[in-house]
Structure 1
Amino acid sequence: MMTPATFRALHRRGDPLVLPNARDLASASWLRAVGRYAARLAGLGVVGVNVEDSDAEGRLVDPELAAHKVHAISTAAPGLYLNARTDPFWVGSPADVRQRTREAVARAHRYLAAGATGVFVPGAIALDVVATLARATRTPNTEAQTRTG
């Protein structure tokens, strides 16, 4: 397991930690070669990538499109840790917390079904909502911990 100190140590001059990021259609098209590029990264020793589901204009993208990106990467580089970021609390028009929570959970489930290893929901979120999101979203890792722990 990586510790915060280990992760911090990866951020250094001369040999930085590099994470590709697909945040709009143009970058997704570039990464589409997504799967091929991710496979090349994995071959170079990269252990994980992050895929976002919002665009440069601050809008949530169609979750089906985002799921296709996740699937392309997970298929081409099955050993790569694929973190799917879902942004209902980060971008978009104001909505009530329950609506944003439902949207984040639905998107997380879709991305996990498409092959994501983990899910990240950014934003200033109250702890009770974080707890709800964690309970509602089971990643492959939490399933393994549940079975063995």
Structure 2
Amino acid sequence: MTDRRAEFRALHHGGRPLLLPNAWDHASAAALAARGHRAIGTTSLGVAATAGRPDGAAATAAETLALAGRLARLPVLLTVDVEAGFDDDPAAVAGYVEELAGLGVVGINLEDGRADGTLADPACVADKVAAVKAAVPDLFVNARVDTWWLGVPDPLPQTLARARAYRAAGADGIFVPGTVDLATLRVLGERIDGPLNALYQPGGPALDELGGAGVARVSTGSLLFRAALAAAVAAADAVRADGFATPAGLPSYAEVQGLVPADGAPGRRDRR
């Protein structure tokens, strides 16, 4: 396991940013793995919406743990979005993350935004980071600073202060979603001591441009999940209207079935 965690850590120090696509169930993660993505994250929105629960409300600890157990069998390096840790008690957060680590997870994403749209006390978040690192020292902890995400006025000073506190507590990387302004990212990359993670934005800078600004990791967040929902609804609407033209790359029944482990559904017969 130490080798896998070391490999994941090394991916943040390559010549190009690590693209981390975010999956929401076994099929999405398995399909991404089959396309050669070595590292995959989970999206808390996708996991929550799939379970019929709200995102960011500490309501999906069980679902997230169960999903991690399913994805652990895939040939990928898995990092899991645990929202704010699903608990306010640092010891409880560390215990939960220990369970994830025991399944084979190599990293987590821990955020400081709260369900009511405010930011948590940075000292409390730092305590969670420290507890997790004490429990699983080689796990990659990506601490998310939600200043831009939540529209904090003049976010740069607070972002840097929070990033310093989380790094001092042991965080391995800092995630700042909500801005893809290259000048801003360049400042963040220069002043944050550790790998900087940005959230990909459609129509925004490309991967190499983000890398040139000092970004080490680029996450897709809920984008893939929302794109899949849009595609499903568009297909249903097309069938209802004038008919559905099969898009290029649409996987067949057999290809999707092939994403499931051979022992995952014993006795099932091929249905066309």
Query: Counterparts of 1:39 and 1:86 in 2: how far apart (Å)?
Result: 23
The equivalent residue for 1:59 is 118
The equivalent residue for 1:39 is 98
Change (3 A) 1:48 1:18: closer
1:77 is the counterpart of 2:136? yes
The equivalent residue for 2:173 is 118
CA contact (8 A) 1:28 1:69 kept: no
Query: Counterparts of 2:114 and 2:183 in 1: how far apart (Å)?
Result: 28
**Residue number among 23, 30, 42 corresponding to 2:84 in the alignment:** 23
Structure having the larger proportion of residues in helix: 1
**Residue number among 156, 165, 169 corresponding to 1:101 in the alignment:** 156
Change (3 A) 1:9 1:138: closer
TM-score, scaled relative to structure 1: 0.76
TM-score, scaled relative to structure 2: 0.44
Q: Which runs of 5+ in 2 are unaligned?
A: 1-9, 12-17, 20-36, 44-68, 72-77, 197-272
The equivalent residue for 2:38 is 6
Task: After superposition, give the CA deviation of every residue in 1:81-129 in whole Å (9 maximum; x if it has no partner).
Answer: 1000001100144x1xxx3111111100100000111110000341100
Amino acid in structure 1 at the alignment position of 2:171: A
Query: Counterparts of 1:76 and 1:8 in 2: how far apart (Å)?
Result: 23
1:135 is the counterpart of 2:193? no
Q: Which runs of 5+ in 1 are unaligned?
A: 143-149
Instruction: List structure 1 runs of 4+ shifted beyond 3 angstroms.
Output: 1-4, 8-11, 14-18, 29-32
CA contact (8 A) 1:50 1:82 kept: yes
Identity in percent: 37
Structure label with greater radius of gyration: 2
Return the offset for 1:29: 3.5
Q: CA RMSD in A?
A: 2.9
Query: Counterparts of 2:137 and 2:116 in 1: how far apart (Å)?
Result: 31
